[in-house]
Amino acid sequence: MRICTWNINSVRIRLDQVMRLLSEHQPDILCLQEIKVANELFPENLGEELGYHHRLIHGQKAYHGVAILSRLPFVKAEPRYWCGKEDSRHAWASVKGADGKAVELHNFYVPAGGDVPDPEANDKFAHKLQFLAEMAEWFQERRKKSNRFVLMGDLNVAPFENDVWSHKQLLKVVSHTPVEVEALNKVYQSHDWVDAVRHFVPADEKLFSWWSYRARDWQESNRGRRLDHFWVTPALKDKLAGVEVLSDARSWQKPSDHAPVILDLDL
């Protein structure tokens, strides 16, 4: 099973890039974040000609939004709201692997958190911390129902020193502050998750999935962060077959500022 996660930063602006990804890399399932479109305006036939007949769209006008496009039929699929807000940041679907067993896929777009890493002074940062706290509680409860989960998406936290271009300089910058890392770690511990990307790429190796549009030459400056993640539950750890950050996509025409990340499971 090949799964891809990608913060597309407006799906209607980047239809060609999505089709290129589907054609060249042929994931079984594509999870998109920041689709920035209401459900009824999502591109109707996106991926259909390549076999992506199953979809769950959880969008909203102009902001946020997640989507799951799949070649595999859904056993169950539904959106979910968090923090008492109707912003579309999580959709999940259950599919059957080649082994006949279900795998639950959770596609997340965690709030970015604004610019000031202080929940008292910044409502957006408070929202981010609340969102992560609710995720930890929810998965702690949900682990009683199933043990074959894949959590993916733009979690908007780069937790490790080598997930950012400069650990020292970004310690007070939103996405790498200790309070965010601690909050994400509580989510990580809620289901004894396995960081599938760092399972293959050593923690002492720099690895990024996002590069700001502000850099004139993103490759030369390489001031990136690893904000896009794949986690699996322990029951799937021995099924991990490979992972790749498609950094070349950052240089495609009209690119997203995020690169797609691909995970292969041997089921």
pLDDT at 229: 98
The closest of 232, 129, 114 to 184, measured between CA atoms, is 129
pLDDT at 106: 98
Residue 75 near residue 102, CB atoms below 8 Å = yes
Overall average pLDDT of the 205-233 stretch:
96
pLDDT at 145: 73
pLDDT at 144: 75
**Which strand ranges, in their side-by-side order, compose the sheet holding 90-96?**
76-80, 90-96, 102-109, 149-154, 228-232, 194-195
Instruction: Please write the tens of the pLDDT for every residue from 30-53.
Output: 999 999 999 999 999 999 999 999
**How would residue 146 be classed by pLDDT, with cut points 50, 70 and 90?**
confident
pLDDT at 98: 87
Kind and range of the H or E run holding 145: none
Question: Of 95-109, 142-156, 195-209, which gets the smallest average pLDDT?
Answer: 142-156
Q: Could you tell me the pTM of the whole model?
A: 0.97
Domains defined along the chain, listed by start: 2-265 (3.60.10.10)
**How would residue 57 be classed by pLDDT, with cut points 50, 70 and 90?**
very high
Question: 265 vs 13, 112, 141, 150, CA distance in Å?
Answer: 30, 29, 25, 10
How many angstroms separate the CA atoms of 190 and 211, rounded?
A: 29
pLDDT at 142: 87
| Residue type at position 64 | H
Residue 212 has pLDDT above 90, yes or no: yes
Pairs from 83-89 (Cβ < 8 Å, separation ≥ 24):
83/127, 83/130, 83/131, 83/134, 85/127, 86/60, 87/60, 87/63, 88/58, 88/59, 88/60, 88/64, 89/64, 89/131
The two tokens of residue 55 are 């979809």
The closest of 197, 215, 210, 207 to 250, measured between CA atoms, is 210
Instruction: Please write the tens of the pLDDT for every residue from 89-139.
Output: 999 999 998 889 999 999 999 999 999 999 999 999 999 999 999 999 999
Overall average pLDDT of the 205-223 stretch:
96
Nearest-10 crossing angle of helices 178-189, 123-142: 20
Residue 159 near residue 189, CB atoms below 8 Å = no
Residue 141 has pLDDT above 80, yes or no: yes
